[in-house]
Amino acid sequence: MTSQTSDRQRLPEWLKKRPGKLNASRTLSNKLDKEAPNTICQEAKCPNRGECFSKGLLTFMILGTVCTRNCAFCSVRHGRPMPPDKGELDHILNAVDRLNLKFVVLTSPNRDDLPDGGASHYVHIVQGIKTAFPHVKVEVLIPDFQGNRDDLAVVVNEAKPDVLNHNVETVPSLYTTVRKGSLYKRSMDVLAAAKEMNPKLLTKTGIMMGLGETVEEVETVMRDANERKVDIMTMGQYLRPDKENLPVEKYWSPDEFDDLKKRAQDIGIRYVFSGPLVRSSYLAEHVFDDLSGKDNPFA
Ligand code: SF4
């Protein structure tokens, strides 16, 4: 029996039934052209593809599909990436148009090979979207730029996203196994610095549950995020994407996710999205609209 098979067999009931249509991926692809942009939905084998694609939602992956780091939880390929694709913006604009998106979520792999970590490419893409579609809001899920404030400032002040997300992913004690090559404090500093650079910018972070963390450790992350004025926090169940990735240590129940949400709210975080299938980009438009006082388009 493979690790993946045993993982699947061990899945608790609440993770076996997932909303959405199984063929949603093909339906969405049909709406896009042959040069459809990359998505983290596919690269990370997200369990919500059926639901999100049924609703016409996706998260674009810019700067290629190869990462310069090798986090143990992530299925994105590791290696030497290609230079940024100059044609990427056109493919994204085409997809935004065809899917009639009002809210675009973008992410990228770590690009420690580039002098600016990819910051100027974020500006190219975000500003390109906003110029072509002035009504469209953009959320970026960024890497840590190795803690370089100048690169971060380029994204905050020149790309001007509506939401800036940087995931801390896990509790500090698990960084050496889960997020080798990254630093917990550095990631928290990115969130603090982004808010300092633009206090009106909505900031967001997220963690995965099920890698061996304790409630007390998660509360520490909540407090650290709150001290850095993070507006939105997401918490979801880690699911092993490939047999090479870390195994699941624990499946947290829906009630436990509700309890985590209450703890984060009590600590002071403004918007908490917590549940077994919550991912940092999951229903990001709904979260943004909720915070902006608009009606939820997916209710
Ligand atoms: S939750 Fe995010 S990554 Fe997963 S399918 Fe939805 S948009 Fe894509």
CATH number at residue 109: 3.20.20.70
Which two tokens mark 201? 């910018």
For 295, other C-beta atoms within 10 Å of its C-beta total 9
Asked whether residue 155 is assigned to any structural domain, the reply reads yes
Asked whether residue 296 is assigned to any structural domain, the reply reads no
Dump pLDDT digits (tens) for 28-83: 766 776 678 999 998 898 999 889 988 889 999 999 999 999 999 999 999 999 99
Nearest CA to ligand 1 atom 5: 49
Asked whether residue 220 is assigned to any structural domain, the reply reads yes
Asked whether residue 137 is assigned to any structural domain, the reply reads yes
In angstroms, the Cα distances linking 203 to 60, 90, 270, 283, 284 are 19, 27, 11, 16, 12
Nearest CA to ligand 1 atom 1: 282
Range of the domain at 150: 3-291
The predicted structure's pLDDT at residue 34: 64
Question: Which amino acid appears at position 268 of this protein?
Answer: G
For 94, other C-beta atoms within 10 Å of its C-beta total 15
**DSSP string of 28-92?**
HHHHS-TTPPPBHHHHTT-TTHHHHHHTT--EEE-S-SEESS--TT--SEES-PPPPPTTHHHHH
In angstroms, the Cα distances linking 281 to 113, 116, 249 are 25, 24, 23
Asked whether residue 297 is assigned to any structural domain, the reply reads no
Dump pLDDT digits (tens) for 108-117: 999 999 999 9
Q: How far is the CA of 139 from the centre of ligand 1 (A)?
A: 13
* CB-defined site of ligand 1, < 6 Å: 40-41, 46, 48-49, 52, 57-59, 279, 281-282
Q: Based on the structure, what is the number of domains in the chain?
A: 1
Phi and psi torsions of 139, nearest 5°: -110, 135
The predicted structure's pLDDT at residue 36: 81
Asked whether residue 214 is assigned to any structural domain, the reply reads yes
Give the pLDDT mean for 234-260.
96
Asked whether residue 33 is assigned to any structural domain, the reply reads yes
Is 218 in contact with 260 (CB distance < 8 Å)? Answer: yes
Asked whether residue 298 is assigned to any structural domain, the reply reads no
